[in-house]
A = this chain, B = another copy of it.
Amino acid sequence: MFEVKVTIKLKKGISDPEGFNTLKALHLLGFDKVIEAKTIRIFDLKIDSKDKNNVRDDVEKMCQRLLTNPVIHDYEIEIIGD
């Protein structure tokens, strides 16, 4: 059994409307020292397998096919457990 964290960020230069609107709302609430707000998403998966290399290959495929949009996202895969 492995726990896998897939961390998904927007690529540099891709606009982050949620982050932008969060920043605007924080300013409206008076938190004007905040100068940047970005959003990051993590998928925390549990995978029933005994082979760490297989898990990495599978998660790489999941990222390409479902979890991320490789055109706009960078992602990192972290495998916990062994």
* Contact of A44 (CB < 8 Å), options: B29, B40, B46: B40
Number of interface residues of A (CB under 8 A): 29
Bound CA–CA A59/B43 (angstroms): 24
- Min CB distance, A79 to chain B, in Å? 13
User: Which chain B residues lie closer than 8 Å to A46 at the CB level?
Assistant: 34-37
Q: How many copies does the complex hold?
A: 2
- Are B31 and A48 closer than 8 Å at their CB atoms? no
> Is A69 at the interface (CB under 8 A from chain B)?
no
Bound CA–CA A45/B22 (angstroms): 10
* Contact of A35 (CB < 8 Å), options: B25, B47, B66: B47
Closest 3 CB pairs of A and B: A36-B46, A40-B42, A38-B44
